[in-house]
A and B are shown apart, each in its own frame.
Chain A
Amino acid sequence: GQSLEQPSEVTAVEGAIVQINCTYQTSGFYGLSWYQQHDGGAPTFLSYNALDGLEETGRFSSFLSRSDSYGYLLLQELQMKDSASYFCAVRANTDKLIFGTGTRLQVFP
């Protein structure tokens, strides 16, 4: 089977740094994506890692370790608008993305 595990909820305060972990078990692996979804909104793409290491895009960074089947999303300088659900997604052995169950991030003032 294929599975992606994420924490169900994370809380933090404005200005803080938070890390959302994702471990995956899939048949085949091409890369790990991260998506953000606000309540009632569409999932929007944040980042993609195909190779090991850290990718940085502004306040957000994403890390991948293929040997550990593990990745994380790092959010820095948290803002209230970052309160949302965050999903990791794997492109496995076909041209579709398989999504995790999501992590709900609540940012408090």
Chain B
Amino acid sequence: DTGVSQDPRHKITKRGQNVTFRCDPISEHNRLYWYRQTLGQGPEFLTYFQNEAQLEKSRLLSDRFSAERPKGSFSTLEIQRTEQGDSAMYLCASSDGLAGVGTGELFFGEGSRLTVL
């Protein structure tokens, strides 16, 4: 299967610890997006990349969050000094550049669920 994969699927951590999530997009997709979703809410945009360039970052994203896509393939999302409010599902999605977003279609992974104790 060549869909979007995310790792780990679940992460439980203590407040103040750092966590890192990885996303492997569909191989031919050059756009990669990170969203956050809490229970009963829609996905909230965090950031996106075209190839290795980070083109936009949400103003809601604190400096504790950082994302990279060093070779334009997989991406990592790191959260430093986690807080209980960071508990959420972190979703990664990919698309085939403008063609993908131009059709409104993103391909989502199953997500990484973070629980901060």
Interface residues of A, Cβ cutoff 8 Å to B: 4, 30-33, 41-45, 47-48, 50, 87, 89, 91, 94-102
Chain B, interface size category, equals: 20 to 34
In the bound complex, residues from chain B placing their C-beta under 8 Å from that of A100 are 42
Whether A101 touches B41, Cβ cut-off 8 Å, given contacts A96-B33, A96-B56, is: yes
Tell me, in angstroms, the Cα distance from A82 to B97 when the chains sit together.
30
Whether A48 touches B31, Cβ cut-off 8 Å, given contacts A42-B111, A97-B45, A101-B42, is: no
Kindly state whether residue B108 has any CB partner on chain A within 8 Å.
Answer: yes
Q: Are A97 and B106 in contact (CB under 8 A)?
A: yes
Most chain B beta-carbon contacts within 10 A, residue among A48, A94, A96:
A96
In the bound complex, residues from chain B placing their C-beta under 8 Å from that of A101 are 40-42
In the bound complex, residues from chain A placing their C-beta under 8 Å from that of B108 are 42-44
Q: Are B111 and A94 in contact (CB under 8 A)?
A: no
In the bound complex, residues from chain A placing their C-beta under 8 Å from that of B56 are 94-96
